[in-house]
A and B are shown apart, each in its own frame.
Chain A
Amino acid sequence: MSFRDTGPLIALVVIVGIFAALSPGFRTLSNAQNIMDAAAVLAVVTCGVTFVLMMGSIDLSTPGIMGASAITVALLVANNRNDNELGLLGVALAILVAAGLGCLSGLALVLLKVPSFMTTLGVSAVGLGVATLLFAGVQPNISDGTLSGWAVDRFLGLSTLTWIAVACVLVGWMVQRYTRLGRYAFAIGGAEEVLALSGVNVKPYKVAVFTMAGAFYGLGGVMVTSQLGAGLVQAGRGYDFSAITAAVVGGTLLAGGRGGVLHSTVGVLLVTVLTNGLVLVGVSPYWQGGVQGLIVVAAVAAAVIPQRRRNQVTK
């Protein structure tokens, strides 16, 4: 365990300590529950983005994909717009749509050779467009008991959504640790040429990583729908940046090849605790985005300092 691995964890403990000392409202059990519940969606989304960052790519498609899956799931389960009542099958289909959109970014990356930040910006727009088309001016409110129950039902003090997020983190960690996809995602970020020269066809793995990331965003969109009780086009607004912030703060390098799902999860908790704590000590919630922007720039700068002399060229 190097400082790079333990640093975010220490920072998390320090921040929790500071807020606990400053605000009596922070150091309560119910606030701890709040923080865990508030972190759920971000944790799932960050799982997906982590694999993309591990490859050294970037993913800005989160808002579009989440929006598309949020509307899709709202229209497929019992709702006020049509007679569909697919239940969990609807959830699966929405995740499938999201995975398809993610696959699209991956395909554009490897087939058209367009850098990922451009393909994913494009796919985000496509996803928002699809969501707007499906939205068709009337908000789909869900009446499906299971889905809306996810946000309310509690088990051991945490909502079902939080347990879903915990399961996602576990699955993400297993994929990263024990599957070829996860190992190759690391290797692609570390040294793509070496991997390609040793006879590995990296293209299918890149597409697979973007597809899997899309599926995670899709689940995130479903979870937002469950929280709001309605499908919204803007379900994923801001999650792209929050997820990248969380992953980077957790110790996943933007250059790829480092970090992982567990690192990112620490980052998610850091970001969520910071958001929650700042509000409790009386900082306007509007600053939230600004704080995230500052810490992402600081975290990237800190990660780059060791290689500052070597990296003369930054684009």
Chain B
Amino acid sequence: MSTPVVTKPAPDAATVARPTVGQRLTAFMPVIALVVLLAALTVADPSFLTQSSLTAVVRTAAPLVVLAAGATLVVLCGGIDLSIAALCSLGTVLFAMWLPDLGGLTLLAVVAATGAIGALQGLAHVFLRIPSFIVTLGGMSIFGAVALVISDAGPIRVVDREATHWLTLYLAGVLPMAFVVALLVVAVVWTVQRFTPLDSWIRATGYSESAARLASAPVDRVKVAAFTVSGACAGLAAVMLVSRNFSGSPTMADNLLLPAVAAIVVGGTAITGGHGSLWRSLAGALVVTLLRVGLPIVGVPSAYEQILYGAIIVAAVALTLDRSKLLIIK
């Protein structure tokens, strides 16, 4: 982001900031939104609150959860990753192309490849000192082109459905495997982050990068790592999409960028960095999916979906923005 960060002196020496009412409200915003939405949908259509429709919702949400979770790390560092959707599309093409040769190893290969591409973006951001949204905007364009060229601009059918069959199974007959994997990703990344110094490094980088550098936090490595995880998550989301569509296509995931960004900001992760978590993005992704599924139920044409995303993004960012850090908004 090209927002100049102004370091203001702390108003008090010991500021144990008490959360204001607004902060308390935004802290629970995603959960409140989730409950309100579920309630509203149930009122609109009493048959909505059934096991099968809820199962369908979480199954649809799985790729979005994974995408949003990875990008959340980048946002926590104060950057943004606009390339996730294009990278995910590229991932679906790679998976479909590599599957005949690599078989069961394809999943790992795709996740490794997209992770490496993410790392490359992180390195470009850190070493060339280009704002992250430009690196990833450029990346979005490049990955789109690569996907078009290698796939010859058409969908690639996946014949061997055994390799992704396990993702379409249901755990205990109810929980879709894809959603379980998504939960696992969130839990594992969160655990690693929580029980290592990574958590404080990421937060420090997001809250005040210059202070983090002075405190000798490995800011550059943390950022590259965040981009790597974000890329790898895009790859995993790609495999989930392939398991559902039985094909890879160079534009398959392109329309997931807006929902993923919406999921992150609706979850309450501040776009200015530092404040937020992966669990918030999980809740945010569920909210976004419920909206998408729910609009037709309450009789709103799905064309309003886009308008709603736009409004949600702006409103959620306006609510969660840390204004003390921004004197000038560009």
Contact = CB atoms under 8 A, between A and B. Distances in A.
B79 interface: yes
A308 B129 contact: yes
Nearest to A52: B330
Interface residues of A, number: 55
B118 to A, nearest CB: 15
A192 B328 contact: yes
Interface in A119-134: 119, 121-126, 128-130, 132-133
Interface residues of B, number: 58
B330 A293 contact: no
A169 interface: no
A118 B29 CA distance: 19
A308 B79 CA distance: 18
Contacts, number: 169
Interface string B140-159: 11101110110001000000
A12 B132 CA distance: 28
A204 interface: no
B128 A121 contact: no
Given A117-B1, A293-B138, A57 B273 contact: no
Given A122-B314, A123-B310, A133-B303, A312 B271 contact: no
A288 B145 contact: yes
A185 to B, nearest CB: 12
Given A55-B330, A286-B145, A304-B129, A254 B323 contact: no
B271 A297 contact: no
A114 B130 contact: no
A106 to B, nearest CB: 12
A126 B330 contact: no
B141 A289 contact: yes
A115 B329 contact: yes
A286 B153 contact: yes
B306 A56 contact: no
A263 to B, nearest CB: 18
A211 interface: no
A214 to B, nearest CB: 14
B309 interface: yes
A304 to B, nearest CB: 5
Contact of B79 (A129, A193, A289, A315): A315
A36 B258 CA distance: 34
A256 interface: yes
Contacts of B139: 293
Given A119-B314, A300-B130, A58 B2 contact: yes
A114 B146 contact: no
Contact of B309 (A58, A125, A193, A241): A125
Given A312-B210, A315-B131, A116 B125 contact: no
A115 B313 contact: no
A256 B318 contact: no
Given A241-B137, A296-B137, A314 B305 contact: no
**Interface hub of B139, B271, B273, B329 (most chain A Cβ within 10 A):** B329
A64 B146 CA distance: 25
A118 B317 contact: yes
Interface in A99-143: 108-110, 112-119, 121-126, 128-130, 132-133
A123 B330 CA distance: 16
B132 A315 contact: yes
B326 interface: yes
A301 to B, nearest CB: 4
B133 A126 contact: no
A63 B282 CA distance: 29
Contacts of A117: 1, 80, 133
24 contacts: A57-B330, A58-B133, A110-B329, A113-B329, A115-B271, A118-B271, A118-B313, A122-B313, A122-B314, A125-B306, A129-B304, A133-B303, A241-B141, A254-B2, A256-B330, A289-B148, A294-B142, A297-B130, A300-B131, A312-B209, A314-B129, A314-B131, A315-B131, A315-B209
What are the 4 A-B residue pairs with the smallest beta carbon separation, nearest first? A290-B145, A129-B306, A125-B310, A129-B307
Interface of B: 1-3, 5, 78-80, 124-125, 128-135, 137-142, 144-146, 148-149, 153, 209-210, 213, 258, 261, 265, 271, 273, 301, 303-311, 313-314, 317-318, 321, 323, 326-330
